[in-house]
Structures are given as structure tokens and as C-alpha cells.
Amino acid sequence: MKVVTGVVGNDIHVVANRLIDLSLRARGFEVFNLGVNTYLEEFFDAVVETGAEILLISSLNGEAEGWGREVKALKAQYKNLDDLIMMIGGNLVVGSGKAEDIVPRYKKYGFDLVCHQVDLNTGLDTLEAFIQERNTP
Ligand code: B12
């Protein structure tokens, strides 16, 4: 399956992004990595251009929420993205916050899978389980 990934907004933390790229490839995904400092429009444009089934966004500086709120409105401007699997992870707030508060907020923004301070392998296991469940008739 094809995945578009990158780090959202004015976020330059690149290490996790590189690990995500390598881990996704090791699990057999075809990866289009937009790297750091990526804006929502660029993510959706890349999804359309590549025909990706998954958009996996990373945020480390905690500022994703400012962008996340615009996800639904922006996605609605693109055609045929209803089945796109939307995942986000990293540090999803500035400062401290509880996953039980943060996860439902991001789900409301339109993300299917939300991993606040979840390690990468656990997150990717969750993604694979979600895909398998979705593909089970
Ligand atoms: C290195 C670093 C920097 C370097 C980045 C260099 C670079 N080009 O990458 C420099 C010094 C430039 C930097 C700058 C800043 N940083 Co900094 N930085 C760090 C630090 C020390 C390590 C980050 C790192 O690379 N970790 C290694 C990777 C492998 O681990 P990771 O990032 O945690 O990623 C794991 C998980 O988060 C997860 N993951 C990540 N994304 C996703 C996505 C999904 C879907 C899933 C499932 C999992 C997942 O997978 C990874 C592996 O398990 C952290 C503190 C820390 N100890 O984590 C702060 C930290 C991330 N930085 C922070 C901050 C605030 C900043 C600055 C704003 C500081 C400032 N005032 O200027 C700026 C941001 C500038 C910007 N525009 O983004 C904060 C963020 C706080 C928050 N969210 O509330 C942190 C947490 C430090 C802190 N405790 O305050 N930083």
C-alpha cells in the first residue's frame, strides 16, 4: 500500500520522520516522504498525485492541533479521499496533556488513528490491524 508521510507545519524534528520512513518500508509499504515543514495542502496534493491509501502525519513540537482543526474542511475540497486512512502521531500538544483527552479531539478533526506519545512500532502495529479489519468482509 502507498503511504504519504511527513512532519506537519513549522516543525523541523526530522529523526522520527526518518525512522518512520525506514519502518514503513521494512513493513512493505511504498513510501512518499515529504519530510519536515510540510503543510496540509502539500500532504493532500501528494495523496492525490501518488494515489496513496494512507496519510501518516507526524508532529513533534506539539503544534499540530493548529493545523489539525483545518483537516476536515481542507479534505472536503479534494475529490475521492473518503477512503483515505488518516493517522497522526508524535507529541500532539504543547506541554503536557492526557491521551484520553487528546485522542477524541483529533478524531473529531477527522483522523482515524491518533497516537499521542506512542512508540512507532506500536503505532504501526495499530495501523496494520486497522487495515486488516477494514479489509475483512
Ligand atoms: C533533537 C531535538 C530538537 C532538535 C531537532 C533537530 C532535528 N533537525 O531533528 C532542535 C534542537 C533543532 C530542536 C528544536 C526545537 N524543539 Co526540540 N527536541 C529535540 C529532542 C531532544 C529529541 C527529538 C528526537 O529527535 N527524538 C528521537 C526520535 C526518534 O524520537 P521522537 O521524536 O520522540 O519520536 C518517536 C515518537 O514520538 C514516535 N512518533 C513520532 N511521530 C510519530 C507518528 C506516528 C503516526 C506514530 C505512531 C509515532 C510517532 O516515533 C518515534 C520513535 O518511537 C526532543 C526531546 C526528547 N527527548 O524527545 C525535543 C522536543 C521534541 N523539542 C521541543 C521543542 C519545544 C522544540 C523547539 C520549539 C524549541 C525552541 N523553543 O526553539 C524547537 C522547535 C523548532 C521547530 N520549528 O520545530 C519539545 C516539544 C514539546 C511539546 N510538544 O510540548 C521537546 C519534546 C522537548 C521538551 N521536552 O520540551 N529540538
CB count in 10 Å sphere of residue 26: 9
Q: Is it the case that residue 8 has pLDDT exceeding 90?
A: yes
Digit-coded pLDDT (tens) for 81-90: 999 999 999 9
Q: What is the pTM of this model?
A: 0.97
Cα 39 to Cα 21: distance, rounded to the nearest angstrom: 18
Looking at domain 2-135, its CATH class is alpha beta
The per-residue pLDDT for 124 is 98
Q: Residue whose CA is closest, atom 80 of ligand 1?
A: 61
CB count in 10 Å sphere of residue 116: 21
Q: Which residue of 31, 61, 118, 128 sits with most ligand 1 atoms within 8 Å of its CB, as the best mutation to test the pocket? A: 61
Q: Which residues are catalytic, by number?
A: 11, 13
Q: How far is the CA of 136 from the centre of ligand 1 (A)?
A: 36
The per-residue pLDDT for 50 is 97
Cα 81 to Cα 65: distance, rounded to the nearest angstrom: 21
Q: Residue whose CA is closest, atom 37 of ligand 1?
A: 90
Q: Is it the case that residue 69 has pLDDT exceeding 90?
A: no
Chain centre to alpha carbon of residue 133 = 19
CB count in 10 Å sphere of residue 5: 24
Compare 69 and 36 and report the one with higher pLDDT: 36
Q: Which residues of 37-74 are buried (b: 16+ CB within 10 A; e: fewer)?
A: ebebeebbebbeeeebbbbbbbbbebbbbebbeebeeb
Q: Is it the case that residue 67 has pLDDT exceeding 90?
A: no
Q: Is it the case that residue 80 has pLDDT exceeding 90?
A: no
